[in-house]
Amino acid sequence: MLGAVLKAIFIILYATFVGFMFMGIIRKVTARIHRRIGPPIYQPIIDTIKFFGKRENITHGLIYDFGIIFALGATILALMFIPLGSISILRTYGDLILITFLLEIPMLGIMFAAMSSGNPWAGLGAQRALLTLLAIQVPLGFAIIALAEFYGTFSTYEIVMAQQVGGWSIFHLPLLLVAIAYDIVLQAMFGKEPFDMMIAPGEISLGPMVEFGGKHMGMLQIQHAIGLFAETLFFANIFLGGAVVIAFSSPILNTLATLGILLVKQIAVLLIAIFIGAIFPRFTIDQAVKFYWKWPTIIAALGAILASL
């Protein structure tokens, strides 16, 4: 019992720290792409401290506060189900549908809070975010079907173990197609550029985030950090082979090696997202929905059909 609690605390702390570093990497790499120097890599941590150091707080009622906590809680819960090498606590229950579902719940929490603020920009952003959420379901569903069909199981941990034997998922043609579709979906889940209609800085002010200041924004920063970590970790687990290292004799060395390998894979996923995000302009919402129901769906459906043959 105590061990599980300690593990959970470790996972949360590690995910928060690494997630903040990921946010820093996003800003730093984007700056380097623009030939700027960019902020220091620990900048998101400073931002968060600043948000928690605000003297005043604005609140628009109970749902406004609750939505943020709901989003943060759902992200943490999703993280608990994803196998982080050998140190996850609920990994036996972590099946694909559950995790995919939990990774989308935070968006709903933010929507609750945004809608209850009564700001028209937030309402507009919420509408767009829900439409995006609707659009990505189709390729996402096909991706999950293909994975389950190929490995014959829904359990993420068993998929990771199967990849230890049979090679990474992306080296099998049907799953490679699915991985491509999933990577396009990931762009919308990160809120990165071609599909960041729900936030749309400059176009609709900040969308759902427009009304959050002070501590609410600080919580959202933490939520974003953990969300980034969880989404990249999930991708690395189901497509890039995860990592369960048993090469060393001491368990601590094994754990460290696992975390290191996972980190490299996660950063690879993140870098692809940054490169795409830095060079593509934003879609309008109707184009994005049309796009998601066309190309990623076709690719993922093809993968699913090939996987079931």
Partner 1 sequence: MVDWRLFEPLFNWARKKSLWIVSFCTGCGGIEMPPLMTARYDLERFGIMPDPSPRQYDLFLITGYVTPKTLKRIIITYEMAPDPKYVLAHGSCPINGGIYWDAYNAIKRLDLYIPVDVYIAGCMPRPEAVMDGIKKLMEMIENGEADGWKRYKENYEWYRKNQDELLGEGWREKEARKWIPWLMDKKKEEGT
**Applying CB under 8 A, does 290 fall inside the site for partner 1?**
no
**Residue number, 109 or 207, with CB nearest to partner 1:** 207
**Applying CB under 8 A, does 34 fall inside the site for partner 1?**
yes
**Applying CB under 8 A, does 217 fall inside the site for partner 1?**
yes
**Residue number, 31 or 176, with CB nearest to partner 1:** 31
Find the shortest distance in angstroms from Cβ 189 to partner 1: 22
User: Residues 36, 164, 246, 287: which binds partner 1 (CB under 8 A)?
Assistant: 36
**Applying CB under 8 A, does 209 fall inside the site for partner 1?**
yes
Instruction: Write the DSSP assignment of 250-299 as a string of letters.
Output: SHHHHHHHHHHHHHHHHHHHHHHHHHHHHHSPPPPHHHHHHHHTTHHHHH
CB-based contact 156:91 (threshold 8 Å): yes
Binding segment for partner 1 (CB under 8 A), chosen from 15-23, 27-35, 160-168, 173-181, is 27-35
Look at residues 255, 233, 236, 250 and name the one whose alpha carbon lies nearest to residue 170: 236
User: Residues 5, 9, 13, 40: which binds partner 1 (CB under 8 A)?
Assistant: 40
CB-based contact 55:73 (threshold 8 Å): no
Find the shortest distance in angstroms from Cβ 26 to partner 1: 12
Count of other CB atoms within 10 angstroms of residue 257? 17
Binding segment for partner 1 (CB under 8 A), chosen from 13-21, 45-53, 80-88, 187-195, is 45-53
Residues in the chain: 309
**Residue number, 183 or 211, with CB nearest to partner 1:** 211
**Applying CB under 8 A, does 58 fall inside the site for partner 1?**
yes
**Residue number, 78 or 206, with CB nearest to partner 1:** 206
Q: How many residues bind partner 1 (CB under 8 A)?
A: 32
User: Residues 8, 63, 213, 291: which binds partner 1 (CB under 8 A)?
Assistant: 213
Binding segment for partner 1 (CB under 8 A), chosen from 66-74, 175-183, 187-195, 212-220, is 212-220
Distance CA 49, CA 54 (A): 9
Look at residues 17, 36, 18 and name the one whose alpha carbon lies nearest to residue 27: 36
**Applying CB under 8 A, does 222 fall inside the site for partner 1?**
no
Distance CA 259, CA 122 (A): 38
**Applying CB under 8 A, does 60 fall inside the site for partner 1?**
no
CB-based contact 78:223 (threshold 8 Å): no
User: Residues 95, 149, 193, 211: which binds partner 1 (CB under 8 A)?
Assistant: 211
- Give me the amino acid identity at 247: A
**Applying CB under 8 A, does 235 fall inside the site for partner 1?**
no
CB-based contact 186:273 (threshold 8 Å): yes
Distance CA 242, CA 52 (A): 35
* Torsion angle in degrees (nearest 10) through CA of 213, 219, 221, 226: -170
**Applying CB under 8 A, does 210 fall inside the site for partner 1?**
yes
